[in-house]
Structure 1
Amino acid sequence: MSKILVVDDEPSICWGLSRLAEGLGHQVQAASSAEQGVSVAKEFRPDLIVLDVRLPGVDGLTAMKLFRGLNEQTPIIVITAFGDLKTAVTAVEQGAFEYILKPFDLHEIRTAIERALRRTPQSAVEAVHEAASEGLEGMLGRSPAMQAAFKRIALAAASDAAVMLKGESGVGKELAAHAIHRHSPRANGPFVAVNIAALAPDHAEAELFGYAAGTFPGAAHPRRGLLSQANGGTLFIDEVAEIPAPLQVKLLRALEQGEVLPVGSDQPVKIEFRVVSATHQDLHQLVNSGEFRHDLFYRLCTFEIPLPALRERTQDIPLLANYFASQFGDGRAVLATETVEELARRPWHGNVRELRKAIEHALVLARSGSVLPSHLPAPLPAFQLNGIKSSPEGRLNEAVTALAQTLLKNPELSGDVYDRFLQVVEKPLLATALSQAGNQCAPAARVLGLHRTTLKRKLDQHGIAENGAEH
C-alpha cells in the first residue's frame, strides 16, 4: 500500500481521486491549497502527489519546489484545466512525472498513478501539458490536439533526441523548433535554420558543409557551413524530404561521425548539435519508395511531433484571430461576431499562416473599427498555396477537388456535372499523351491502355488533331 496526497481546491476532484486511489488499495490524504498540502506532506510523507496548477494562494508550479524540498524523489502528477506551452515546459523542467488535462478520464489518471508508484528514483522526466490563454513563441491553442502537441514539445525540449516535426505548411513547425531549442539545455547555443528546398542545387553542399578557400571562382576565403555554424546548439532542417540523394549520404555520415568535410578540403571539422527536422510530406512513404534513405530517416526521427492542421482545431480560431488582431492592430479594432463565425467556417488550407495574413489584411480595411466579414480577403483554394502538397498528385487532387466543388454548386449544370467534369480533366491527359508519343495515335493509345479507335473518337470529341493542333 502506498500513500497518495491529492492537492486540489475542487472538492469533487479530491473525492473522485481519493475513491479511485483507495479502490487501488492506497491510503489517501487531500488538501485544498498548496500551503495545506505542504503541511500535510510533512507528517503524511506521501509516495505520490497529485497536484493541481490553479490553487488559492501559492500556485501548483510554485508549490512543486516546496514539495521537492521535503522529498526530492516523490513523483508529482500535475493536473490542470488551464495552461500554455510555458506552463508545460516549466512543469517538465521541475520534474513533473506526468501532466494531465481536466476533465480527465479515470483510466488515464489510474494508469499515471500506477506508473508513478512503480517508477524508480532514477526515472526520466515524463511530463507535461496543454493549451493556452497566452502564447509562447506565437503558439496558441486550447484544443486537445494542440495540448497534445505542447506536451510533446515540452518533453522533447527536456531531452537531446533528434526530433521530427510533421504537419502541413503553415502549422507552425519552425515556431515549434524554436520552442524546443529555447527550453532545452542548448538554449545558450546557436539556433541555425536551413530550408533545403530553398537551397540552389549547385550550392547546397557548400552551404551545408562549407568550403575551403579557392574551391571555386569567387571563394577567396573559407566559409563555415550551416552544420558547423550550429555547433553547440540546434540545427533545424526544414523541408527535410527535399534533401537530394547525394547529400543524404553526406549528411548521414556527418551526423554519425560528428564531423563535416568542407568542399575542397581534406581537413574534417568536428561538430556537435541537436537536430530538429520538419516536413509536410509522408517520409515513411518516401523511405518505402527508395526516395529517402531509411538509415537517415531513423537518424533524424527519434521522436515525432505531429502538429495539427487548423481545420483539425477550429475551436482555436477565435483565440488565434484575436491574438493576431492584438499583435497587428492599434488595440482598437474588434472582431465582429459574424467575422469570427466566418473565420470558423473557412477551410484554411494555409493553416495559421493564412489566418494571420487574413487578419492583417482585414485590419488595414477596418481602420481601427469593427472588423467585418467584408474586410476579410477571399479564401485561397488549396491548389494556389505553394508547399501544401509538393507532389504532382497532391496538387492535382487539390485542383480537381476545387473544380468539382465549383461544378456541383452551379445549378445550370444539374444532371450534366459528370460529363462536364470529364471533359475538363480528360482533355489535358489525352493531349499530353499524344504529344509525348510524337503525335502518333497508336503508341499514345498503348500507353493510355485504350483501343486506337477509342482514342481517336475521344480526340475528335475534344477537338484535338493527331498533329497536336486543336480543330
Structure 2
Amino acid sequence: MSKILVVDDEPSICWGLSRLAESLGHQVQVASSAEQGVTLAAEFHPDVIVLDVRLPGVDGLTAMKLFRRLSEQTPIIVITAFGDLKTAVTAVEQGAFEYILKPFDLHEIRTAIERALRRTPPGASAATIAASSAGVEGMLGCSPAMQVAFKRIALAAASEAAVLLTGESGVGKELAALAMHRHSPRATGPFVAVNMAALSANLAEAELFGHVEGAFTGATQTRRGLLAQANGGTLFIDEVAEIPPSIQVKLLRALDQGEILPVGADRPVKTEFRVVSATHQDLHQLVDRGEFRHDLFYRLCTFEISLPPLRDRPQDVPLLANYFAGQFGNGRAVLAQETIDELLRRPWYGNVRELRKAIEHALVLARSGSVLPSHLPAPLPSFQSSSSPKTAEGRLNEAVTELAQSLLKNPELNGDVYDRFLQVVEKPLLTTALSQSGNQCAPAARVLGLHRTTLKRKLDQHGIADGGAE
C-alpha cells in the first residue's frame, strides 16, 4: 500500500481523488493549503503528492520547493485549471513528474499516479532549465487548447528532442520556438531562424551551409552558414516543407553527423544545435506522396506540437487584443466593450497575426482613449485555400479541372469530351470500390448506389475484372 497526499482547496477534487486512491488500495491524506500539506508531508512521508497550483496562502509552485526540502525523491503531480506558459515552464523546471489540466478524467489522473508509483525519480530528476522569467511576446492564452500547447512547449523545452510545430499561418509557431529556446538549457546560446519559403533553391544551400571564398560567382568572401551560426543553440526552420529535395539529403547528414560541408569547402565544419521546425502543411501527406524524405521527417519530428487557430479559442481574443492595445498604445488606449464584441464575431483567418494588425490599425485612428468598432479595419477574407494543407478532395478538384481544360482544348475530341472525361475519372472510383469490397460486385454496387447489373456493365466497359459469381 502506497501513501498519497492530495493538496487542493476544492473539496470535490479532494473527495474524488481520495476515493480513487482508496479504490486502488492506497492510503490518502488531504490538505486544503500548501502550509497544511507541508506539515502533513513531514509526518505522513507520501510516495506521491498531487498538488494544485492555485491555493490560499502559499501557491502550489512555491510549495514545490518546500516539498523538495522534505524529499527530493517524491514525485509531484501538478494539477491546474489556470495553465499558461509560465506556469507550465515553472512546474517542469521545479521537477514536476506530471502536469495535468483541469478538468481531467479519472483515467488520466489514475494513469499518472500509477506511473509515479512505478518510478522513483533520481535526485537530479528536476529539469534544469536555464531560462529567464520573462514571457515571450504574444504567447498568451487562457483557453484549454492553449494550456495544452503551453504544457507541451514546457515539456519540450526541457529536452533535446527535435520538435515539429504545426498550425496555420499566424498562430505563433516562431514564438513557440523562441519560447522553447528561452526556457531550455540552450538559452544562453544563439537562436537562429530561417524561413525556407524565402530562399530560392540556388540560395538555400549557401545560406544553410555557408560557402568559402570563390565557391561561386559573387562569393567574394567566406561566409558561415546558418547551421554553423546555430552552434550551441537552437536552429528554427520555418516552412520546413519548402526545403528543396537536394538540400534535404544534405541537411539529414548534418543532423546525423553533427557536421556540415560549406559550398566549395574540402573539409567539414563541426556544429551542434537543437532543431525546431515548423510548417502549415501536412508533412505526413508530403512524405506519403514522396515529396519529403521520410528519414528526414523522422529526424525532425521526434515531438510534435500543434498550435490551434484563433477561431478555435475565442476566449483568448480579448486577452490578446488588450495585450496588443497596451503594447502599441503605451497604456493610453482602452478597447470599448462593443469593440471586444466585434472582435469576438470575426473568424480571424489570419489568426494572431491578423488580430495584431487590426489592433495596430485601430490605434492609429483612435490615437488615444476609447477604441471603437469603427476604428477596426474591415475583416479579411479567408486565405485558407492557399495557406492550409489541401485535402484529398481539394487536390482532386484541381486535377479534374486541369483534365477538363486539357480535353476541351483538344480539337480531335470535339463532341466526345464528356464520354472521354467519364472514362478517366470513373475507372479509379470503380476499381477502388471493388477492391475495398473484396472484389465482389454486389457489396461494391451497394456502396456506390448502383444496381449490380449496371456496375457489371460499367466494369466490362472499363475492362475491370470482378470476383465472378457471388
Normalised-by-shorter TM-score class: 0.7 to 0.9
SS in 1 for 2:68: helix
Match of 1:142 in 2: 142
SS in 2 for 1:203: helix
Unaligned runs of 5+ in 2: 128-133, 423-470
Match of 1:160 in 2: 160
Equivalent residues in 2 for 1:70-81, closer than 5 Å: 70-81=70-81
Equivalent residues in 2 for 1:128-277, closer than 5 Å: 136-277=136-277
Cα displacement (A) at 1:391: 6.3
Equivalent residues in 2 for 1:58-97, closer than 5 Å: 58-97=58-97
* AA aligned opposite 1:433: S
SS in 1 for 2:139: coil
* AA aligned opposite 2:374: S
Note if 1:331 corresponds to 2:304.
no
Alpha-carbon distance in 2 for matches of 1:155, 1:175: 16
* AA aligned opposite 2:55: L
Partner of residue 442 from structure 1, selected from 398, 413, 428: 413
* AA aligned opposite 1:156: A
Q: TM-score, normalization: structure 1?
A: 0.81
Conserved 8 A contact 1:260-1:270 = yes
Q: TM-score, normalization: structure 2?
A: 0.81
Change (3 A) 1:429 1:163: closer
Match of 2:315 in 1: 315
The number of equivalent residue pairs is 416
- The structure 1 segments of at least 4 consecutive aligned residues displaced by more than 6 Å after TM superposition are 123-127, 390-398, 428-431
Conserved 8 A contact 1:92-1:125 = no
Alpha-carbon distance in 2 for matches of 1:294, 1:443: 45
* AA aligned opposite 1:442: L
Change (3 A) 1:19 1:303: same
Alpha-carbon distance in 1 for matches of 2:124, 2:382: 43
Note if 1:388 corresponds to 2:387.
yes
Unaligned runs of 5+ in 1: 128-133, 401-425, 452-471
Cα displacement (A) at 1:38: 1.4
Match of 1:422 in 2: none
Conserved 8 A contact 2:407-2:417 = no
Match of 2:364 in 1: 364
Q: Deviations over 1:77-108 (max 9, x none)?
A: 11122232011001001110111222332222
Conserved 8 A contact 2:72-2:123 = no
* AA aligned opposite 1:359: I
Q: Deviations over 1:399-450 (max 9, x none)?
A: x9xxxxxxxxxxxxxxxxxxxxxxxxx9x97995379x5x736389759944
Conserved 8 A contact 1:171-1:310 = yes
Match of 2:431 in 1: none
Equivalent residues in 2 for 1:283-322, closer than 5 Å: 283-322=283-322
* AA aligned opposite 2:411: Q
Q: Deviations over 1:207-242 (max 9, x none)?
A: 110011111233232111000000111100000000
- Decide which moves more: 228-237 or 318-327: 318-327
SS in 2 for 1:327: helix
Alpha-carbon distance in 1 for matches of 2:334, 2:271: 50
Conserved 8 A contact 1:258-1:270 = yes
Cα displacement (A) at 1:71: 1.1
Alpha-carbon distance in 2 for matches of 1:392, 1:49: 46
Note if 1:49 corresponds to 2:33.
no
* AA aligned opposite 2:11: P
Alpha-carbon distance in 1 for matches of 2:253, 2:393: 32
* AA aligned opposite 1:296: L
Match of 2:116 in 1: 116
- Decide which moves more: 30-39 or 272-281: 30-39
